[in-house]
Amino acid sequence: MSIEIPGPRELAEHCDRAARITNRVRPETVADVPRGWARVRAGGESDEFASTGFNRVHWFTLESAITDEELRETVGVLRSRGVRRAFFWMNAAGCEGSGLSALERIDAVLVPHVRYVVLARRGGTCVPTRASTLVVRGMSARELPSVLGAMGERFSPESARAACKLVESGIAEAFAAFDGDVPAAFAALIPDRAGDGFGHLGWAGTVSGSRGRGGQSALIAARVSRAAELGLRWCVSETNTVIPTSLNNLIRLGFVAALEWKVFRWDDRAGA
């Protein structure tokens, strides 16, 4: 039996909007590049890993191969802002055939051994597949700083500030799972009211001592249910396969893999 989910184009456009929306609270600036946009923080190299790298180019909505000219212009934008390393996130169509050859000509290398997956399901009442002693509730902007501060091992001061700004500005709703009065896990829901409405599940983290206790499953269920309350038809989440816990939690709660980003690492060898 097939499961109803949005089409690839709808999902790609939603993920692009969600990334742009959340970038408003981050220190990186946005620069236009051909058929996409770049999130850049000037000076030096980005992180070693794609998921945490702050310099990145988003080509989620590409429907045809990237070209040499588009890559030359993009590299020029990155260099003009002092960027020496960036990760290119793209729809698979962008790196097929001639697109892959063009990426190879600028020494962009596919990130190995990991898949970057977009999953989706209908919004609706959702119940965790197993019970947890952790208690989940929504968080106000006022109480969020102390909650994230207590989870300092999981959220850097910069990440915590950005999460607080998301909620303060009304971009996101925050949820946390508690062991008594102690916060054990956190996650956010970013509403996107374009089309039939999407709820983007992101910004999740669990403190090390509380992993395996069902906190994130409960937070997924709470956000899927909340999305339905807000009148959002779809729920979407992005994860990867390095640590499969998140992926497995989403699948158990009715999400299905719908898209897969191809991620390339570019280092400025010519400009070094």
45 or 216: which leads in pLDDT: 216
Mind listing the pLDDT tens digit for each residue in 207-219? 887 777 888 999 9
pLDDT recorded at residue 272: 54
Buried b (16+ CB within 10 A) or exposed e, 217-247: bbbbbbbbbbbbeeebbbbbbbbbeeeeebb
Q: Return the DSSP state at 71.
A: H
Flag whether pLDDT at 234 surpasses 80: yes
111 or 152: which leads in pLDDT: 111
* Arithmetic mean of pLDDT, 103-111: 97
Flag whether pLDDT at 55 surpasses 90: yes
Q: Return the DSSP state at 179.
A: E
Query: How far is Cα of residue 257 from the mean position of the Cα atoms in its chain?
Result: 15
* Arithmetic mean of pLDDT, 99-118: 97
Flag whether pLDDT at 258 surpasses 60: yes
Instruction: Give the three-class secondary structure for 10.
Output: helix
Instruction: Give the three-class secondary structure for 134.
Output: coil
Mind listing the pLDDT tens digit for each residue in 119-178? 999 999 999 888 888 999 999 999 999 998 888 777 788 888 889 999 999 999 999 999
pLDDT recorded at residue 213: 81
Average pLDDT for the chain: 92
By CB neighbour count within 10 A (0-12 exposed, 13-18 middle, 19+ buried), where does 8 fall?
Answer: middle
pLDDT recorded at residue 2: 56
What does the alpha-carbon distance between residue 177 and residue 185 come to, in Å, rounded to a whole number? 5
Instruction: Give the three-class secondary structure for 186.
Output: strand
Mind listing the pLDDT tens digit for each residue in 3-33? 788 999 999 999 999 999 999 888 888 999 9
CB distance 33 to 55 below 8 Å: no
| Per-residue tokens: 207 | 């403190």
First to last CA, the chain: 53
Flag whether pLDDT at 271 surpasses 70: no
| β-pair partners for 38 | 31, 57
